[in-house]
Structure formats: C-alpha cells, structure tokens
Structure 1
Amino acid sequence: MNILILGAGQLARMMSLAGAPLNLNVVAYDVGSKKIMHPLTGEVYTTTLEQAIIDADAITAEFEHIPDDVLTLCCNSNKFYPGKAAIKTGGDRALEKALLDKTDVACAPYQLITEKAHLEQAVKSLGKPLVIKTCQAGYDGKGQWRLKSDLEIDKIWSEMADFIASGTEQAPHTIIAEKMIPFDREVSIIGARDIHGNVAIYPLTENEHTDGVLTFSIAGKNNHSVQTQATTAFTKLANELNYVGVLAIEFFDVQGTLLVNEIAPRVHNSGHWTQQGCHCSQFENHMRAVAGLPLGNTELKQITAMINVLGQPSIPADVLKFADVTSHWYGKAPKPGRKMGHINVSADSMNDLADKVGELTEYLPEEQYPGLLKAAANLILH
C-alpha cells in the first residue's frame, strides 16, 4: 500500500519507520522544494505531485501549514486524511476557537483582533495580563506577545499591525487575545480515530517548556482525575471533524479543570514517548488509521519520559550505556533551537525514572540542554 505524506521532516521520517513493518510504502512531498522524496534516505524522485497523488492509496500530512492549492489538490482525490477541515483548523487559531465553541469544549476567554479597537476592547473585557497570538503561522512560542500594562498597547499594536497587513484577501491574517490563565501544569492527550469512528486514546502526558519550546514530556503518572475530561474533549473534536489519524490536544490544568490551549491535527512532539512507552506508538497508529487498518493498543507499557534535543550536532553516545534509554535522531543540519532528535527514558517507577534522568544529565549538560534537570524534577517528583 502506498502512502503520500505532505511534509518531509522528522515526523514523516518516523511515520515511514512505523509504516515499513506494516508493508506501507511511504514517499513525502517537500513543500519547500516541491519535490517528491524518500523521508528516510532523502532520495529525490522525478515524480510530480499530481502523479504521486494518483499512485497513493492514502495521503496524510506531518504539519498544518500546507499551501492551499496543494491541500485542495490532495483533498479532491478523496484520499486525504485527516481531512481538509482538520488541517485548516489546526493552522488557524480563529477556526480552532470556533470549533471549540461549537463542540462546547472549554478554553480560555478570548477575542479576535483585526484592528486596534479590538485590542483595546480585549484589555477592558478580558483584563490584564493578556496572551496575544497570531492566528496563522505561529508555533513553538513564535508569533506571541504578553500585554501586562496599558502602556504596552501602542507598541504591541504596531507589531501586530504589520502581521495583519501582511495578509491577503484570500489568506487574511488575524490575531487572537486570550485571558492569561494561571495554570498548574500543561498536559496533552494523544489519540487516534479510524475511518469507522473507533477511537484509541493514550495516557495523559505532562509537558514542561523552556523558552516556549517543549523540553520534557512524561507519561505514567496518576492522572485519572483529568484523563476522562481529556478523553471527552478528544472524542467531541475528532467526531465533529470526522477525523482520521492521530490528533493531539494541549490543555492547561487549572485546579483539576482542563482548558484547551492548542489542537494539532497530526502526530505530536509530546507523544514521542509512545515509541517506547506503549505497545503501539502514535506513529504506527496514525499509519494504521490512514491505511484503513485496525488501531493498535494504546495502553501504557512502562513509565516513559521524552527529552527533546535542541540545536545539538548529535546525541551523546554515552546515553546508550543506560538501560531503557533510546536515542532518536532526525538527520537534520543543526541550528540553534532546532529540534534535532529526542531521547526516550523508561523505568519501572517514578523514583527510578528520576534517578535515570539525573544520571543522564552528566552527559546532557545544562548549557546544551537548558532546563532539563529542572523540568524533570518538576514533572517527576511533583
């Protein structure tokens, strides 16, 4: 069976690895170069996108920001999963908020902004501080502002106005202001839905960020009190979108009540731990879903944490000395802050996991892995 993935980055790479044992032949479309290529070897093919669509039995995506003409072409084939509405919603916070409102899934109070008067109204109606985000083209903490004082309105508006002005009639740029919610932690739910509407949900993941980028994720803690809330939200949203594939939802946990922060219509960084922590990883379940295969077991196999490798030229080989430590490298040219790979660490207990991560930091120093020790202590020991 042939699968075409829109995007040729690390997520396509890991989907390809997961698909191979299922006899799924994967090629990727590099949106930047507009070439069809192999997501593992990097070999570039002479095949056109149009021919790749014809050759594919199913088409999926590794990210949300796909050019509309490409997305439309793929959707017109009736082979594209998770569906155009899901990809559009994941790439536009205004559409995301509309979906949450329609399905009665809770999120922070918000206001859309296209002119300065809207920003001034948001300050009055939502109060300060505000978190302000671009509705399109924002990720990993980019395209965001924090407004804490009325004195900041003019300066922030001038920056926001430039973004709004850069939009077009066909692709307008908008901004959203949200009430800043003091939250106890960020958690995410990863789940899969197949073409028949069957759903398989992974255990809740806790996440820690450094400078707006995910540093550390952990699964295996007792989250029964909020798992049901997350599962209900996932099911509502996935059913409304008639979703097929893996969907990730990030939440703020506010004293036991979950508020949606973001939706990602794809396999997700906070679900990388599933490669070692579960019987069937998020990557395999996504490939199963889009290929029309039965979903795999999402039960926790062992307590597992994921460490992001950001901007480093390699993962130290010494980490492989440790039992239950697995290295995943993406094969990209290093750049500051770029996601280069990840390390999964598994253990029989939280105390054992804390000890392992502590020992690993001997080879993962603070200057190269900022915030790791603190993030691990926050999530494992609290």
Structure 2
Amino acid sequence: MTTVGILGGGQLARMLALSGAPLGLRFLVMDTEPDACAGQFAPLLVGDYRDQRALAEFASKIDVATFDFENVPAESAQWLSERVPVFPNPRALAVIQDRLAEKTLFRETGIPVPQFVDVASREGLEDAVATISAPCILKTRRLGYDGKGQFRIKSEGRATIDAAWKALGAQAETVGLILEAFVPFERELSVVAVRGRDGEFRTWPLTENWHVDGVLSASLAPARVDDALAVTAFEYAQRLAESLDYVGVFALELFCRDGRLLANELAPRVHNSGHWSFEGAETSQFQNHLRAVLGRPLGATTMRGHACMLNWIGELPDADAVLRVAGAHWHDYGKSPRPGRKVGHATVRADSTTVLAQALRRVGEALGRQAQVAPVVEALAGAAS
C-alpha cells in the first residue's frame, strides 16, 4: 500500500487524507504542532521542518511527499527530494515563496502583473512609492498569506511612508519587502489547475472570489465571465505550470479590471477557492492532487451544475441550520475557535443559478450572515439576467 507524506498538518492535509481513502492510500503527516487537525485522520509525526533527523524519519516511512502550505522551507523540500519523490518540485516551491521571484516569473512568461519594486531600505521605499505612486501596497516577500505581512500606502506623504516602514521595515533584512501597485479591480478570480507527472494539464472552471479583511469569504463557480477571458486565464496557468515543471494542484489568483487580467499570486497547493470541487466537480482538487503526485490518471474537472463555497472564520456557525438547506454540505476542520482562523466551510450546490441563489439566501437568513452571501447572490442575479 502506498504511503503519501504531507508536510503540514492543517485542513488541507486533512482533506487530502480523506480524499485519498477511496484510492487505498495511507498517509503520514508531519507538523510542528501536536494538535494539528490532520492528525485526527492520519498518523502525525511532530517535528521541525528544518530538523534533518525528523525529516529522515519522515522519508523512511513514505513513498512520495507533498505539502499543504507554501511556507515549508524550500531547502527542507530539496533535502527530502534527494531521498523520496517530492511534488511539487522544490524549485517551484522556492520561486513561489518569494513574491519578487514570483512576480518576475509572471513577467518573464508574458503574464500581465501590477507594477512592483524590490524594497531594501527606508530610502528605497520612498523612491519606490515615487515610482509606482499611491495607492500602493508594501508586502513582505516571504511568509505573508491571508492579508498578513501587508501595509496599504494611501498617499505619498512622509507620515504614511514612515508608518509603513514602522510596520514592516524590520523585516526588510529577514524576509525582504516588495512594493506593488494597488489594483482597483472589479473582480477577484482564480484558476485552480492540476498538472500530472506526464505533463497532462487540466483546470476546473474559473472561480470568482470575495475576501473580507484579506481572508477568503466566498467562492463561486463557474465565475460570471465570458469564455475568452476564461481561456486567457487557463493559458496563463498552463504557461506557469510548464515553466516550473509543476506537478500537482495549484491556484493562480487574478485581478480583473476593464476586461483585462492581472496576476496576483500563485499558490503551490490545493487551494481554498477550490474547496467547492468536493461536491461541485466530477473530481475534487484533493483527489486530483493525489493522482498527479502519484503519477496516476487525472480525473475529469467538469462541474456538476453551480457551486458556492462559504468560509467559516473564527468560529463555526450552526451546522444543522446549514444542513437543512437542500444542496448544502458541511465541512468541520476539527479546529478550536480563534479569531481569524479558518475553522470550516460549507458548499452549496445546485443545477441552476436561480436555485443556488435561493439556497444561499436561506443559508444567510438561517445564520444571520446575509452580508456574506449577498455579493454572491448579486453576482448570480447578474449572470441570470
């Protein structure tokens, strides 16, 4: 029986393990925390990702390795790859971990990207703001996610620049900084795609996303865009996958402005905006990721009607209130509640946009979360008109 090792034991590893059971797979999860939620469904090895002794024990018990978050040290992935197959490959992980390298890759592969400048000092920040113009966003080059490690610069005044440097300047030498132009986007979209060991490439339908405080709140698939825009998004994703010789599932996050796409970020793993695929697609992102890293045939990514994923942040709402709604599916990550923490999600699936909108209204009313479902319902109304 094949054993898949997963570096990182969060909800993504948990859902990978659940999705691998029908394939007859075993799993070993490695995480720094003894209460990692994936450990509720798979054996858990607790250790530091830089500890070669722990990595050696991990490698000795698995047939192939992958990871559930992008901040696994690239050098650890490289060390591991010299002992067992690791997918995605460590080079892809290293590039995507650094926003400057990532944005440079976008540009080199001909994918439009917001203007960006490397920032190494307070004076460099002032020059970069003068080059890009406000509004713009100062970000850490590494270790930022879900809106963390960011500071929006709304004006070019010295006080605003001082505040930005005070917030993030100390990290210039450790993780690096990058200044990016602010994009007044109309929509946030994502391509969730998979590439197999043999180079076969597939995408799920383009997904539209809504964020609150930098954290994903809701995802709708398929997105309400014309076919030409979707084809362009898929081409960008395939370009990146082939450039990196990528194997597995990834997500390309995009801004849409005036009918034009700009690349925002690349996530080298199964992605929050693809969670709807559990119930909304022929093959979920989780099972296709496992098929890819094992070199097995990829499954169909076609949709089953229309689907919306609602993220639960901080604490779980009433599960029964959601489950009473036809077409609704519940996912509890087994985590203790904490402000800002992703603790679960629900997927609502329907055969038409009208029925999906009705179901989402019922969920919103039952939970007192009308504001969370409102933009999705509005988008569905626009698609139906």
- The bucket for the TM-score relative to the shorter chain is over 0.9
Q: CA deviation at 1:89?
A: 2.2
Other structure's SS at 1:260 match: strand
* Paired residue secondary structure (1:361): helix
Match for residue 164 of structure 1?
172
Q: Hey, what does 1:342 align to over in structure 2?
A: 345
SS at 2:184 equivalent: coil
Give the secondary structure class of the aligned counterpart of 1:131: strand
Normalised TM-score (structure 1): 0.92
Equivalent of 1:64 in 67, 70, 78:
70
2:143 corresponds to which residue? 137
Shift of 1:337: 1.8
Residue equivalent to 2:375: 375
1:101 alignment counterpart: 107
Q: Does 1:323 align with 2:326?
A: yes
AA of the residue aligned to 1:53: A
Q: CA–CA distance in 2 between the matches of 1:301 and 1:97?
A: 34
Q: State how 1:1-382 maps to structure 2 within 5 Å.
A: 1-32=2-33, 39-41=39-41, 43-44=43-44, 48-151=54-157, 152-165=160-173, 167=174, 173-223=175-225, 224-313=227-316, 315-366=318-369, 371-382=371-382
Q: Displacement of 1:162 after TM fit? A: 1.4
Aligned equivalents of 1:155, 1:51: Cα separation in 2: 46
Structure 1 residues 37, 348: CA separation in 2 closer, same or farther (over 3 Å shift)? closer
Per the alignment, in what secondary structure is the counterpart of residue 134 of structure 2?
coil
| Residues 147/36 of structure 1: CA separation in 2 closer, same or farther (3 Å cut) | closer
| Range moving further from structure 2, 301-310 or 77-86 | 77-86
Provide the secondary structure at the position in 1 that maps to 2:270: coil
**Are the equivalent residues in 2 in contact too, given 1:208–1:379 (CA < 8 A)?**
no
Structure 1 Cα separation of the partners of residues 238 and 141 of structure 2: 24
SS at match of 2:143: coil
Q: 1:32 to 1:44 in 2, by over 3 A?
A: closer
CA contact (8 A) 1:6 1:31 kept: no
- After TM superposition, the structure 1 stretch with the greater mean CA deviation from structure 2, 315-324 or 252-261, is 315-324
In the TM superposition, residue 260 of structure 1 has moved relative to its aligned partner by 0.5
Q: Report deviation, 1:322.
A: 1.7
RMSD: 2.0
Deviation for aligned residue 1:373: 3.0
Asked whether the equivalents of residues 36 and 45 of structure 1 are also in contact (C-alpha less than 8 Å), the reply is: no
- Distance (whole Å) between structure 2 residues aligned to residue 301 and residue 157 of structure 1: 48
More off after superposition, 94-103 vs 197-206? 94-103
Counterpart CA distance in 2 for 1:89 and 1:160 is: 22
Rounded to whole Å, the distance in 2 between the matches of 1:209 and 1:222 is: 17
Q: Which moved more, 1:23-32 or 1:208-217?
A: 23-32
Q: Distance in 1 between matches of 2:63 and 2:378?
A: 45
Letter in 1 for 2:10: G
- Counterpart amino acid of residue 153 in structure 1: I
Aligned match of 1:170: none
Secondary structure in 2 aligned to 1:342?
A: strand
Residue-by-residue CA offset, 1:165-207 (whole Å, 9 max, x unaligned): 4x1xxxxx21111111221100000010001111011100000
Q: 1:45 to 1:134 in 2, by over 3 A?
A: closer
Cα deviation for residue 126 of structure 1 reads 1.2
Following the alignment from structure 1 to structure 2, what is the Cα–Cα distance between the partners of residues 42 and 22? 15
Contact 2:357 2:380 in 1 (8 A): yes
Instruction: Give the Cα–Cα distance (whole angstroms) in 2 for the partners of residues 211 and 155 of structure 1.
Output: 19
CA gap 1:26/1:211 in 2 versus in 1, 3 angstroms = same
- SS of the aligned residue for 2:39 comes to coil
Number of matched pairs: 372
Deviates more, 1:307-316 or 1:264-273: 307-316
Partner-residue secondary structure (3-state), 1:306: strand
> Where in structure 1 are there 5+ consecutive unaligned residues?
168-172
1:379 shift after superposition: 3.1
Q: CA deviation at 1:16?
A: 0.6
Matching residue's letter, 2:70: E
More deviation, 313-322/233-242:
313-322
Q: Specify whether residues 74 and 357 from structure 1 end up closer, same or farther in structure 2 by C-alpha distance, changes over 3 A only.
A: same
Report the Cα distance in structure 2 between the residues aligned to 1:31 and 1:68, rounded to whole angstroms: 16
1:51 shift after superposition:
2.7
What's the CA shift for 1:358? Answer: 0.5
**What residue ranges of structure 2 are gaps of 5+ in the alignment?**
48-53
One-letter amino acid matched to 1:28: V
Q: Cα offset for 1:164?
A: 1.7
**How many angstroms does 1:226 deviate by?**
1.1
Residue identity matched to 1:111? V
Per-residue deviation at 1:316? 2.2
Task: Give the 3 Å change call, closer, same or farther, for CA 118–363 of structure 1 in structure 2.
Answer: same
Report the alpha carbon displacement of residue 77 of structure 1 after superposing the two structures with TM.
2.0
Q: What are the Cα deviations for residues 238-280 of structure 1, in whole angstroms up to 9, with x where unaligned?
A: 0011000001000001122110011000000000001111000
- Corresponding residue SS for 1:266: coil
Q: Within 1, Cα distance between the matches of 2:39 and 2:375?
A: 32
